[in-house]
């Protein structure tokens, strides 16, 4: 078969030799050509490999730097939040200091019970005013319907003097800070089967 697909056997063997890869190893196993199409392709792929490797190294370096910057920013934010929490109460405490001063003065003065009571009443009003400026407000309880969100029932009392499930007595006042509960009011709740 002289020609198959329009090519002779000699042409096929020449094409096969051109496609053959050079022998691996250091020995002189076969003819090596320099500057041929194979060496150009190999050196081209080596330079492309080196470029890709350099780009990879650059990206890994950038990633490491970005991670370090992110970690530093996170640590800085945590530190700033901690400092803010530590000193956030400073303004609130400053507004309460005049009340403490008034209590100190009241305890140093020797007076009769009526004057002492009037002084303590003024100090109480001063404290309520300072708390109101800080958005701390007492929770209304006595006579109100029992609300488990704002009241803590200490005792249920059988009575006909108050409506069923209404607060009869406030044992400890509850407070809200803005719209958030600071402390529930401790109350006695009426149980009135007639209502």
Q: What percent of the chain has pLDDT over 90?
A: 46
* CATH number of the domain that residue 192 is part of: 2.30.22.10
User: 10-residue block means of pLDDT along the chain (195 residues)?
Assistant: 51 53 48 52 81 94 96 95 83 84 84 86 91 91 93 92 91 92 94 77
Answer yes or no: is 148 within a domain.
Answer: yes
Answer yes or no: is 141 within a domain.
Answer: yes
Distance CA 38, CA 34 (A): 9
CB 137 within 8 A of CB 176: yes
Answer yes or no: is 17 within a domain.
Answer: no
Answer yes or no: is 24 within a domain.
Answer: no
The total of structural domains in the chain comes to: 1
Answer yes or no: is 162 within a domain.
Answer: yes
Distance CA 6, CA 3 (A): 6
Answer yes or no: is 176 within a domain.
Answer: yes
Name the residue range of residue 178's domain.
Answer: 136-195
Answer yes or no: is 45 within a domain.
Answer: no
Answer yes or no: is 166 within a domain.
Answer: yes
CB 185 within 8 A of CB 172: yes
């Amino acid at each position: 078969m002289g020609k198959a697909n329009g090519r002779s056997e000699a042409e096929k063997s020449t094409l096969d030799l051109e496609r053959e890869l050079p022998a691996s190893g250091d020995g002189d196993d076969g003819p090596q050509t320099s500057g041929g199409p194979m060496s150009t392709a190999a050196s081209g792929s080596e330079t492309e490999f080196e470029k890709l490797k350099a780009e990879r190294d650059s990206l890994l370096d950038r990633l490491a730097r970005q991670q370090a910057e992110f970690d530093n920013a996170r640590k800085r934010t945590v530190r700033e939040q901690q400092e803010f929490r530590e000193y956030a109460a400073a303004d609130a405490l400053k507004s309460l200091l005049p009340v403490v001063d008034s209590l100190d003065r009241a305890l140093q003065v020797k007076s009769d019970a009526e004057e002492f009571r009037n002084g303590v009443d003024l100090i109480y009003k001063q404290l309520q005013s300072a708390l109101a400026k800080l958005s701390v407000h007492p929770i209304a309880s006595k006579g109100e319907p029992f609300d488990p969100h704002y009241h803590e029932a200490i005792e249920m009392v059988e009575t006909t003097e108050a409506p069923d499930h209404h607060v009869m007595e406030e044992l400890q006042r509850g407070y809200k800070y803005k719209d958030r509960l600071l402390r529930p009011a401790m109350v006695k709740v009426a149980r009135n089967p007639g209502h």
